[in-house]
Structure 1
Amino acid sequence: MKGERQPPPKGGDAGPRVVIIGSGISGILMGIKLLARGWRDFVILEKAETLGGTWRDNRYPGAACDVAAHLYVYSFAPNPAWRSRYAKGPDIWNYYRRVARRYGVLPYIQYGKEVEAAEFDGAGWRVTTRDGGVYQADIVVAATGRLHHPMLPDIPGAESFAGPKFHTAQWDETVPLKDRRLGLIGTGSTATQIVAALADEVGQLKLFQRTAQWVFPVADTPVPLWKRLAFRLSPRYARNYYYTLRSQTEARGKAATGDRTARAARDQQCFDALARVRDPVLRAKLTPDYEVGCKRLVMSGTFYDAVQKPSVDVVVEGVERIEPRGVVTRDGQLHELDVLVFATGFDAHAYLRPIKVTGERGVTLDEVWREVPLTYRAIAAPQMPNFFFINGPYSPGGSASVVGIVEAQADYLMQLIERIAERKVQLVPRQEAAVAWLEEVRERARQSVWGSGGCQSWYLDKTGTPSLDPSTLSELQAQLAAPDWDHFVERPALVELACAAA
């Protein structure tokens, strides 16, 4: 299975030369879209030795998606075989691998190709990889995702811990956990899944909580056989179910952006779930001091049950330092541990870094993004001709399944690529169009609960503004239905840059 290399098929319209960076959900999708158009002159560069991003890297106990499984699929490739409402990580990874195989994408993936740089030379892009590979492209698509740079906390003495220690995205499956003392730093979605999965396995689980999380109750109910058969035998039934789930998710997303009825209903469900914690002292520890939805909601029907078990201890005194024997909290107590796990999330603002991207006239993407990651519709950046993003800065989040979001973006991007191919041009968004779009998005984001709810979260940029578009999926699809060509500079390809600048 490793690599799954196959020779690319022959024939077909070559189309523009396209380099796609990343073989996760977005990269696979772009490959499918290009092949559907008949274009075969593309390559997907993947830094790892097999495809996938999030669901390849996150293999911790209990790893699962908090979006309903039948919605967390490409709309054109339903999976009737899901056995529960919320799919587990390995099953999701297998779904996307099967789809990549079914649609002929696997032959176009090159593994072990970590991109170091992309440089525009006036005629096109020169993409280089860490192993010395060089790829010439007319178009580059960064499909690197947002949550792939693990964040480790800056805690004094972390390196001194004597036992195994690792980030959840680098889970060491060789480390035994049964009856051992496990320390878990962090309380987001990943941490709550681990607590639910390991509360009955470990001897003791210390959950070091800096910030309490609001938990929205969901039931991971099995999908009965009759329903799986109905999904398989009736495409209409499967399609209707997909759109029902999408509507439910969109309604919940509107709670973050001003719908008072949706917000009240969502909040009450969170309050009712928290009330199930019987011990008032523990319930107080788990009660957030900010509005529901200000941070990304934790979706779980099992965390509150697990955290009340005798094997679990929620520690809220704050971590002072780490010693060889364990964690010392600010009250001076040493919590002795055998294994230490960091559930501390990712650098959501790194985007495609550390790749160095150099565009027109030697301007780097880091320079364009010095103050704020300026993009046009989260898909293109000024001074970067024919360089595009899927799920780039200021993509929507928290209001829809990411799969639906990247589908809408990929369909829009294919319209740009069609124009590039048909007219043999380079496209770059106008600075003023990008600035206007971003200012509008940021102002709307400030008015959402993510900007006004009184908390710190990975949604916020260095200015305290949520770095996401609060649009629902329906709104995004309408916004991206057709490009406004007046918002782009269009010039013939293969001209000298100096002439183009004129």
Structure 2
Amino acid sequence: MSTQTASSIEIEAFEPHPGWARQGRQPRIAIIGAGMSGIAAVVKLRRAGYTDLTVFEKADRVGGTWRENHYPGLSCDVPSYWYSFTFAKNPDWSHRFAYGPEIQAYMERTARDFGVLDVTHFDTPVTELRYEAPTWRLTTGRGDEHVFDVVISATGVLHHPAFPDIPGLDSFEGEAFHSARWNDDLDLAGKRVGIIGTGSTAAQIVGEIGPEVGRMSVFQRTPQWMAPLPQKAYSKAWKRFLRLFPFVQTLLYHFYYWYMTSRVGGAVLGDEKAHARLAEACRRNLAENVHDPELRARLTPDYKAACKRIVVASDFYPAICADNAELVTDAIERIEPGGVRTKDGRLHELDVLVLATGFDPTRFILPTKVTGENGVDLEKRWDDAPRAHRSMSVPGFPNLWMIEGPTGPVGNLSLITISEYQLGYVIQCLDKMKRDGLEAIAAREEAFDAYNAYLREGLKKTIWVTGGCHSWYIDKTGMPNLYPYAPQQFRKEMQRPDFSEYRLIHEV
């Protein structure tokens, strides 16, 4: 494992002299987070000629979500050859859909090979950002302050665990933890294990630990549509072939991009034929693996496939059908010292309770306190729901860019691909500042409003609205939390900024 302590990197003292572009010096850029987006940011910015970079990472190593999550059965539901950096192809993926530890190793190796570790402060969370035109004053959890010309938030989306509001949760006398805080030292052999949730995380855990535990109780609030995972192991000969002919992996990258965006993405965005294929695959998967009619009925959703995120897992159905497993569909009343009490009065006695209840998808750069122009607090601005112009910039917060920010296409694209598209956009904005001697750039309020109206209009045709379910894809105001158009459209929008959408600030 490659790590580097924060104390081993010096940050040069810097006084906020406005106008890096007019002075002809390098912009001082802070990157918050050393997950996939932070790693990509360092590489892409350096290649574009921006070299004064500092990364702040709250944890002791890179990896982001793949560092945070290490539960049994963890794997990616995006094909490995697509879930890769374009600048760091990996011919040695072991499977079509890589497992978590392998992805984490890939992140660490890429960070090491491309010098990301050399500019990263580990164990250093950013607690506050304050705009002091035209620079940002950044405060860390260590109490030190630094000034930067530009801040790029690469904190990701799914890193704030969501805990269920269930009475008595703290009273449980066994082992209880969120899936993102898995206890690796825990021996589950012969234990009575309860799992709250049936989403992607729960499905992977259930399929992996089912044969090991003594008894497994899976508490389901809403059934999920599940598609089979077409897993495949890659041979040594195939890996050697890719090393000899690297262009083949580039072709595979583009093939999986086309396949996933046209087949899965199309099913979400109104392509009836694509949706019919996906729905049939889910129905067939359920029918072929769950033969008990009563159990199959309880596992069948009452909404259309892809209204919620499709769970891609091949081991869940066999595991839940096993003699040592039980699907509990009665609502949970409370947690007691000995287990989970459901509303039918039954106590499900447990030794271990796993909360596979997902993440809060609305936090993004928060809980960092971010104060923009005129003292506006970002969290208060986001009181109704998080919003950003083109998923990256908020009016009143100049020179602050968010990668994988609000309303991005996180549900229908590889997150690595999104990051690289957005970083290309940000680099063009930096180039504009350099050419024109700008001190700051910020989204215009009217452009922000028009963009969000565009998103609201696009939402109408999606399966998220027409599918008959309630999910985090749509917020309490009726706006999409995800980009509601085709991935190809997002790529087109990222190719060239329209600078009429931004305030181009020459002097402050």
- TM-score class, shorter-chain normalisation, is over 0.9
Matched, 1:272 2:292: no
Matched, 1:449 2:460: no
> In the alignment, what sits opposite 1:326?
339
Equivalences for residues 131-280 of structure 1 within 5 A: 131-251=142-262, 252-276=264-288, 277-280=290-293
Q: Tell me if the contact between 2:384 and 2:477 (Cα under 8 Å) persists in the aligned partners.
A: no
* 1:343 pairs with one of 336, 350, 356: 356
* 1:295 pairs with one of 296, 299, 308: 308
Q: Report SS of the residue matched to 2:464.
A: helix
Q: Tell me if the contact between 1:16 and 1:421 (Cα under 8 Å) persists in the aligned partners.
A: no
Coordinate RMSD, CA, aligned: 1.7
In the alignment, the residues of structure 2 paired with residue 357 and residue 422 of structure 1 have an alpha-carbon distance, to the nearest angstrom, of: 28
How many matched pairs? 492
> In the alignment, what sits opposite 2:486?
472
Q: Tell me if the contact between 1:368 and 1:382 (Cα under 8 Å) persists in the aligned partners.
A: no
Q: Tell me if the contact between 2:2 and 2:108 (Cα under 8 Å) persists in the aligned partners.
A: no
In the alignment, the residues of structure 2 paired with residue 484 and residue 34 of structure 1 have an alpha-carbon distance, to the nearest angstrom, of: 20
In the alignment, the residues of structure 1 paired with residue 188 and residue 384 of structure 2 have an alpha-carbon distance, to the nearest angstrom, of: 45
> In the alignment, what sits opposite 1:461?
475
Matched, 1:3 2:3: yes
Q: Tell me if the contact between 2:4 and 2:121 (Cα under 8 Å) persists in the aligned partners.
A: no
In the alignment, the residues of structure 2 paired with residue 290 and residue 120 of structure 1 have an alpha-carbon distance, to the nearest angstrom, of: 45
Equivalences for residues 295-314 of structure 1 within 5 A: 295-314=308-327
Q: By how many angstroms is 1:314 displaced?
A: 0.6
Amino acid at match of 2:97: Y
Q: Report SS of the residue matched to 2:82.
A: coil
Q: By how many angstroms is 1:235 displaced?
A: 1.5
Q: By how many angstroms is 1:7 displaced?
A: 5.5
Q: By how many angstroms is 1:9 displaced?
A: 12
Q: By how many angstroms is 1:24 displaced?
A: 0.6
In the alignment, the residues of structure 1 paired with residue 371 and residue 336 of structure 2 have an alpha-carbon distance, to the nearest angstrom, of: 44
> In the alignment, what sits opposite 1:407?
420
Q: Tell me if the contact between 1:397 and 1:470 (Cα under 8 Å) persists in the aligned partners.
A: no
* 1:316 pairs with one of 306, 329, 342: 329
Amino acid at match of 1:213: Q
Q: Deviations over 1:430-453 (max 9, x none)?
A: 100011011111221232111221
Equivalences for residues 348-497 of structure 1 within 5 A: 348-425=361-438, 426-492=440-506, 495-496=507-508
Q: Tell me if the contact between 1:451 and 1:464 (Cα under 8 Å) persists in the aligned partners.
A: no
In the alignment, the residues of structure 2 paired with residue 143 and residue 66 of structure 1 have an alpha-carbon distance, to the nearest angstrom, of: 21
Larger displacement relative to structure 2 (405-414 or 222-231): 222-231
Q: By how many angstroms is 1:397 displaced?
A: 2.5
In the alignment, the residues of structure 1 paired with residue 259 and residue 11 of structure 2 have an alpha-carbon distance, to the nearest angstrom, of: 41
Q: Deviations over 1:53-106 (max 9, x none)?
A: 100000000111111111111122211101111111111011011111111111
Amino acid at match of 2:391: A
Amino acid at match of 2:477: T
Q: Report SS of the residue matched to 1:275.
A: helix
Q: By how many angstroms is 1:14 displaced?
A: 6.4
Q: Tell me if the contact between 1:160 and 1:323 (Cα under 8 Å) persists in the aligned partners.
A: yes
What is the TM-score with the length of structure 1 in the denominator? Answer: 0.95
Give structure 2 stretches of 5+ with no counterpart.
13-23
Q: By how many angstroms is 1:463 displaced?
A: 2.2
> In the alignment, what sits opposite 1:53?
64
Larger displacement relative to structure 2 (417-426 or 229-238): 417-426
1:246–1:8 Cα change, 3 Å? farther
In the alignment, the residues of structure 2 paired with residue 374 and residue 334 of structure 1 have an alpha-carbon distance, to the nearest angstrom, of: 43
Q: Tell me if the contact between 1:178 and 1:203 (Cα under 8 Å) persists in the aligned partners.
A: yes
In the alignment, the residues of structure 1 paired with residue 240 and residue 450 of structure 2 have an alpha-carbon distance, to the nearest angstrom, of: 49
In the alignment, the residues of structure 2 paired with residue 7 and residue 368 of structure 1 have an alpha-carbon distance, to the nearest angstrom, of: 35
Identical aligned residues as a percent: 41
Q: Report SS of the residue matched to 2:495.
A: coil
In the alignment, the residues of structure 2 paired with residue 93 and residue 424 of structure 1 have an alpha-carbon distance, to the nearest angstrom, of: 40
> In the alignment, what sits opposite 1:500?
none
> In the alignment, what sits opposite 1:20?
31
Amino acid at match of 2:78: V
Equivalences for residues 95-114 of structure 1 within 5 A: 95-114=106-125
Q: Tell me if the contact between 1:349 and 1:461 (Cα under 8 Å) persists in the aligned partners.
A: no
Amino acid at match of 2:181: Q
1:7–1:368 Cα change, 3 Å? closer
In the alignment, the residues of structure 1 paired with residue 366 and residue 351 of structure 2 have an alpha-carbon distance, to the nearest angstrom, of: 34
Q: By how many angstroms is 1:27 displaced?
A: 0.7
Q: Deviations over 1:449-477 (max 9, x none)?
A: 11221212222212243311023332211
Q: Tell me if the contact between 1:446 and 1:466 (Cα under 8 Å) persists in the aligned partners.
A: no
Give structure 1 stretches of 5+ with no counterpart.
497-502
What is the TM-score with the length of structure 2 in the denominator? Answer: 0.94
> In the alignment, what sits opposite 1:499?
none
